[in-house]
Amino acid sequence: MSDFTHQQLISENTLFRFLISPERRVFRHLLLIVFLGIVLYNSTPVIDNPIVVFIYFIILFYVNMYVLVPKLLFRNRNIEYCLSVISILIVVAICGYFFNPFNKENGLNIPLFSFLTVLLLAASSSIKLFQKGMLDKQLIYELEKSKTYAELEQLKNQINPHFLFNMLNNANVLTKKDPDKASQVLVKLSDLLRYQLYDSARDKVLLTSDIHFLEDFLNLEKVRRDSFDFLISKEGDLSGVQIPSLLFISFVENAVKHNNDATKSSYVNLYFDVRNNELFFKCINSKPALKSVNNAGGLGLANVRRRLELLFPATHSLNIEDDAERYCVTLTIKL
């Protein structure tokens, strides 16, 4: 069971919350006392002094749970713990011989009383070990969650300047070649930056908003390059679907960066499809005729690969096809 599934189990299962939650400690103790009281009350034909036995069981239960288990068992002092249990059984046998709590007509039943003692010790130890196991797993999950969040923020903060640097560099080139186009680039760039500064700062954004952001980005590239074209295909029910911000820009930016060809027109085609609780994304770009370019490298793609591993560890599939004429990225995410 994964830590995430385990955390869900703790959050959703009332029994687990009752057994490990500090706020419910009083109710757990009251339930134990009532249970032992009922058992011993119904055992009066066998036990002459149920109150004495009740006090003995309560003391034994709590001494084991809050002294022996934490100080010995949790510290791997297993031999000392076993010796302590054996010592308790010896003391019980001696005391039971002189102060027999059972009905005199039935005689002393030391094996039965010793069995009940061991059973009570095992029950209290099991409860304490179970609580510790659940709390340890919850703590590990919280630490991993905190670490994952910090790493995701670091990755996203690396993607933003990387993208901005490329756009400003493009605008700088156009100011010398075509000032009018440079002006259009800067206007569109302001829209892109508005999205990055405000919308993408959230953990989740609408898929439709992110697609619009990609459309602005590709339009910006189209202004900069005359021999460039793009297509964005949207199928299925995209409305209301939320995704992590800036999830696709690294793929698209990589496609644009590596398909520039002075000898022929180039293209980038994006396909989005949402159905059966699954998001399908495909990015296809042409490749230059002069030489083959390795698209797999770059800071952006390395970051987005890591983000996918952190955000969708077992619910995503990423496939990359690289041939002589085109480069294709296919991403499937279970929503």
Least confident piece of the model among 81-90, 213-222, 288-297: 288-297
Residue 4 reports pLDDT greater than 50: no
Structural domains in the chain, CATH included, are 3-142 (no CATH), 178-334 (3.30.565.10)
pLDDT for res 268: 95
Mean pLDDT score across all residues of the chain: 77
Residue 277 reports pLDDT greater than 80: yes
Global pTM reads 0.54
Residue with token string 């021999």: 227
Biggest CA pair distance of the chain: 111
The DSSP output letter for 263 is S
Burial bucket for residue 27 (CB in 10 Å: 0-12, 13-18, 19+) = exposed
Mean pLDDT of 276-292: 86
Report percent pLDDT > 70 for the chain.
73
- DSSP-assigned letters across all residues of 60-100: HHHHIIIIIIIIIITTT-HHHHHHHHHHHHHHHHHHHHHS-
pLDDT for res 225: 76
Instruction: Give the integer Cα–Cα distance in Å for 335 and 332.
Output: 10
Burial bucket for residue 329 (CB in 10 Å: 0-12, 13-18, 19+) = buried
Least confident piece of the model among 142-151, 192-201, 253-262, 299-308: 142-151
pLDDT digits (tens, 9 = 90+) for 112-134: 677 778 888 888 888 888 888 87
Residue 10 reports pLDDT greater than 50: no
Residue 328 reports pLDDT greater than 80: yes
Least confident piece of the model among 55-59, 168-172, 225-229: 168-172
